[in-house]
Amino acid sequence: MTSKRFDLLLILPLAIFTLAFLILPLARLAVEAGSGPGGLANFVAILTEARFRNSLFVTLILAVVTTVATLTVATIAAQTLANRKFLGRGLLLSLLTFPLAFPGVVVGFMIILFGGRLGLVGGVTKSLFGTNVIFAYSLFGLFLGYLYFSVPRVLLTILAAAEKLDPSLVEAARSLGAGPFAIQRDVVLPALFPAMYTAGALCFATAMGAFGTAFTLATNIDVVPMLIYTEFTLATNASMAAAISIALGLITWVTLAIARSHAMRGEGV
Amino acid sequence: MHRRWTSLAGIVVTALLTLFLVIPVLLSVYAGLTVSYARGMSAGFTLDWVRQVWELYSETVWRSLAVALLTLMLTLLIGVPGAYALVRRGGRFARVVEEIVTLPVAVPGLALALALILSYGNLGIFRQSTLFVVVGHVLFTLPFMMRAVIAVLETIDWRTLDEGAASLGAPAWRRFIDVILPNVRPGVVAGALTVLTLSIGEFNLTWMLHTPMTKTLPVGLADAYASMRLEIASAYTLVFLIMIIPLLIGIQLVAGLTEKRMTS
Amino acid sequence: MNSPNPTAAVRNGSSITTRGLTKTFNGHRVLQPTDLEIAAGEILVLLGPSGCGKTTLLRLIAGLEQSDGPDMIRFDGEDVSAVPIEKRDVGMVFQSYALFPNMTVAENVGYGLKIRKMPRAQREEETKRLLALVGLEEYAGRRISAVSGGQRQRTALARALAIKPRVLLLDEPLAALDAVLRERLRVEIGLLLREFGITAVYVTHDQAEAMAIGDRIAVMQRGRIVQIDAPREIYHRPINDFVADFVGTMNRVRGSVRAGALILDAGETTARIAVGGPDRETTLCFRPEAARLAVDGGAVRARIRATTFFGATQRLVAEVSPECQLQLDLPSNQSFVPGQIISFDIDPAAILEFKPES
C-alpha cells in the first residue's frame, strides 16, 4: 500500500545517516582496535599496563564520587525547591540550570576563576591568612568541575519527580508518627528513586567521558578521555586509542542500560 | 522542631549550591569587562577586551552559528520524520532503532570523533570542510531532537488524527504535513532550541574533528584559555554567554507554555 | 419484518454489502465471517458490549483495517475492498472526534473539501452551510480547544458530512459526552441523518441510543451478529436471552403449561395465563411493563420488596417466592409500601419463550 511506502520514506534519511555515520564508524573503530600490532591484546593492556589501569581506576573513582555527591546535593535542593513558592523562584531555577549549556572547557575555566592562581578562594585566603590556596589544577578541582556540570541536569530531573510527589503521602506518614528521616527513607526517596537512577546514570556516563574540563584544567591527572586523546594525537597509536574508546563506551552504555531497567522496574511498582 | 531544622539545612545547601554555580559566571563577566583583573575594581571597566576578542575570534563565532544552523536543518530533516516513523512502527524494532540512535548520548564524544576520523579521515575535502564538524554535531544532537518529538507524539492521539485525515481523503504525505507536523510543533521547537544550544557549546567531538580552518567557538575558547590573558579569556566567555542566553530563555519559555497547555 | 425501513425523503448514500468479512488479531478471531446488507439511506446501528467486534466491523467497512481474507465489501455493488480509506469516500465520526487541534472549527469542516481541491469561495460557502446545519456558525473561527464537548461533536459530524460521503460511519460518537447532552444530541443526530438520507453505520453500546437512532439494529456478541432487526422487534421479539437482557430488563418465571395455560412453579399463585401450545415445563419471559395491576383476583400474587419512583412510572421489585423476584413497571399514581401483597396480570401477547440454547 502507499502508506507503507510513505513509512519507508519517513525513516530513510535516519537510516542512511545512522548507517553511514554511526554504525559504520563504530564498526571501523572495533576493527581498528583489534588490528594494531598488539591485536586484541590491546584490550588486555588496558588492565595490565599500569598507566592505563591507573587512569581507568582514577576515572571510575572520580565518576562514582561525582555521581554520589551530585545526587546528594541535588536531592536536597530539589526537595527544598519542590513545594515552595517564593518570589524569584523562576529566576533561581534559571540560574541553577543555566550551566547545563556550558561546554566542558567553559566549566574548566569557571573552576580556574574559582580556585585557580588568580581565583576567588585564593584571593580571600591570601588576604585572611596570607596563603594563596589553589586547588583548580588538582583532583579536587577536577571533581568540582564535574560537580559543576552535573548538578543542573540531575537537579532538573529530580525536581520534576519531586514536584509530582503527592504531598498527602508525606502528611499521611506524619499522621502515623514518622519523623523526618523515616519519611525520607520510607516515602520520599522511594518515590524519587526512578529519577535518581536515570539522572545518576547519565551523570556517571557524562563524568566518564568528560574531556573539556580536564583539558582546560590541564592537570597531570590522566582521566581516560585525556588518555585516548594523547594516545591518538601524541603517541599516534590509533589502535590503542580505539581499544580504550570501546572499553569506555561499553562501560557507560552498560551503566545507562542497567539504570534504565532499574528505573523502569521502580516505576512499575 | 526536627522539621524546621531539616528544612533550614535544605535552604542552606540550596543557597550554597546556587552560589557555587553563579559566582564563577559573575566573576567571568566581571573579569571580561575590567581593565585589570589583578588590580581589581579600582582600575575601572572597559570594552577593549571584548573588542580584541572580536578581532581575534569573530570567525569562530560565525562558524559556530553556521554549524549550529546546518546541524539544526539536518536534525529536522532526519529526526522529525524518523521520530514519527518510529512511533508509527512501534514494537521491538522501533525500540532497537531508538537505542542505536541514542548511542551517541552514552558513548563519549571522543570515541565517536575517533570513529569518524578513522572512517572518513582519508576523504580529504570532506575531512577538511566544516561539514565534517556538522556531521559530528548532528550525530550528537539527533537523539535530543528525536526524544523531544517522540515525547510530544506520545501525548497526542496521532493515530486517530491520522485516521481522521485519511477518512477525509488526505493521502499519507498530506496527513503528515497538514495534521501531524503542526501538532508536534511544541516538540520540534523544544528540540530545535536544545539542538542549537548543544551545537554551539559542543567541544568533545569538535576538538577532534576540527582543522585549523574549521575552528568553532568552544575550540577557540580552549585556545584562549590556554594561551591568552585572563581578561581576554573572560571576555570571550562573555561572548559565548551572550550567544546562548537567548536560547536558554527560549527553552524555558517553551517548557512553560507546554506545561500550561498540558494542565489546561 | 427484516426489510429495512428508511424514512428518508432523499437518498444520498450507497448501499453496503459485505460477504464473509473476517478479522483476526494475534490469533484471536474478533470478527466471525459476517454477511451484511445495508440499504441505501438506511441507518444501521451496531449494538453490543465492548469487545463484541462492532468497532472492528465498522473499521473494516471504513477501510481502516485490512480483513483476513480476500473478503468483499461492496458500495452500490462496486467492490471497494482494496480501496484505501482516503479513496473510499466514507465520512467518519470518531469516538474522540479526531478533530485537528491546529485548525479552527471551520478549517476542520472544510479540510476534506480542500483535499478535494474545491475552489476556495465554493469551499467557504459549503463550510458555512454545514456549520449552519449543525448550529455552529458563530463558532466558525474558534480553535477546537475553545469549544465545548457538544460543539466538538457537531463539528466532527459536519466535517464528515461535508465531503458528501457514500456512507457515514460513526464510532460511539456520543460516548464522551455527559448524560443530558447525550440524550439531546441523540435526537438531533437521528433527525439530521434522516434529513440527509445518508447511509449510516452507527456503533454504540448504549441500547437507548440504538433504539432512538437506528432504522435497524444489529446486536453483536463475541464477533457475531446475533440478531438484526427493527428496534421494535429487537425489544419485543429478542431471539435469545442475550439480546433480551442487553436491550432492557427481562423477568423470568419457571412454570408449566397445562392445557394452554401457565402454572407457576413457585409461590402462592392462582395463575391462569393463556399462552397456548402443548403441555410442557418451561421458562417464560416478560418485560416489566407487561404487568398490569389487577383490581381483584389477578393471575399472580406477590409481596413488594422495594419501590423506585421514576416520575411517570414506578418500578416494583416483587417477590413471588424466594427464588422468583420480578421487576414490574406500573403507573406512578398509586403508592405502594414494602411488604404489601399485590396481584397482577401479564399481557399474554408480551410473553416470550426462548428455546433452550444448544
The hierarchical CATH code for the domain C16-246 is: 3.40.50.300
Phi, psi (5° rounding) for residue A171? -60, -40
pLDDT recorded at residue A167: 79
CA distance C220 to C51: 10
**B13, B84, B103 ranked by CB distance to A77: nearest:** B13
DSSP β-bridge partners for residue B114: none
Residues B169 and B75 in one domain: yes
Across residues C267-288, what is the average pLDDT?
Answer: 75
Q: Where are the domains of chain C?
A: 16-246, 251-350
In the block, cell 570515541 appears at B111
DSSP state of C79: E
* Chain segment A192-231, per-residue pLDDT in tens: 988 898 899 889 988 998 888 988 887 777 888 888 888 8
Question: Among B145, B263, B129, which Cα is nearest to B209's?
Answer: B129
State how many domains chain B has. 2
pLDDT of residue B18: 92
Tell which wins on pLDDT, B223 or A1: B223
Q: Which residues of C touch A1 (CB under 8 A)?
A: 84
Please state the rounded mean pLDDT for residues B213-231.
Answer: 89
Q: What is the mean pLDDT of residues A62-86?
A: 91
Partner-chain contact A256 B207, CB within 8 Å: no
More confident residue, A13 or B121: A13
How buried is residue B156: exposed, middle or buried, by Cβ count under 10 Å (0-12/13-18/19+)? middle
Please tell me if residue A253 touches chain B, with a CB cutoff of 8 Å. yes
Interface probe with B: pick from C65, C115, C172, most Cβ of B within 10 Å: C115
To the nearest whole Å, the CA of C83 is away from the closest chain A CA by: 10
Q: Extract the C-alpha cell encoding C198.
A: 445518508
CB atoms within 10 A of CB A258: 12
CATH number at residue B126: 1.10.3720.10
Chain A: partners with 3+ C-beta pairs within 8 Å: B, C
Most confident of A7-11, A83-87, B133-137: B133-137
Label residues C264-295 b or e (16+ Cβ within 10 Å = b).
bbebebebebebeeeeeebebbbbbbbbeeee
Query: Rounded to an integer, what distance in angstroms lies between the CA atom of residue C156 and that of residue C136?
Result: 11
Domain assignment of residue B51, yes or no: no
User: Which residue in chain A has the smallest CA separation from C66?
Assistant: A1
Residue of C nearest to B186 (CA): C102
How sure is the predictor about B167, in pLDDT bands with cuts at 50, 70 and 90?
very high
- Once rounded to an integer, what is the mean pLDDT over residues B171-183? 94
Q: What is the CB neighbour count within 10 angstroms for residue C164?
A: 15
Same domain as B187, residue B107: yes
Same domain, B89 and B38: no
For domain C251-350, give the CATH number.
2.40.50.140
Chains with ≥3 CB–CB distances under 8 Å to B: A, C
The confidence score (pLDDT) of residue C266 equals 62
Q: How far apart are CA C210 and CA C238, in angstroms?
A: 15
Res. C267: pLDDT tops 60? no
Chain A residues whose CB is inside 8 A of the C84 CB are 1-3
pLDDT of residue B216: 93
Round the average pLDDT of chain C to a whole number and report it.
87
For chain A, give the mean pLDDT.
Answer: 85
Residues of A in contact with B221 (CB under 8 A): 103, 105-106, 109
Residue A145: what pLDDT?
Answer: 93
Please say if the pLDDT value at position B196 is more than 70: yes
Q: What is the pLDDT of residue A267?
A: 53
User: What is residue A268's predicted lDDT score, i.e. its pLDDT?
Assistant: 44
Claim to verify: residue B152 and residue B203 sit in the same structural domain:
yes
Boundaries of domain holding B3? 1-46
Residue B47 — very low, low, confident or very high, per pLDDT cuts 50/70/90? confident
pLDDT at B67 over 80: yes
Nearest-by-Cβ selection for A77 from B14, B37, B249? B14
Q: Return all residues near B234 (Cβ < 8 A) that are at least 6 apart.
A: A113, B27, B28, B29, B30, B31, B32, B37, B49
Report whether CATH 1.10.3720.10 matches the domain A40-268: yes
> What pLDDT does C9 receive?
43
Three-state DSSP class for B75? Answer: helix
Same domain, B6 and B137: no
> Residue B137 above 80 pLDDT?
yes
Domain map (residue ranges) of chain A: 1-35, 40-268
Is residue B41 located within the same domain as residue B63? no
Q: Which residue has the higher pLDDT, B261 or A67?
A: A67
Residue A95, C-beta contacts closer than 8 angstroms, at least 6 positions apart: B18, B21, B22
Residues in B closer than 8 angstroms to A13, CB to CB, are: 77-78, 81-82
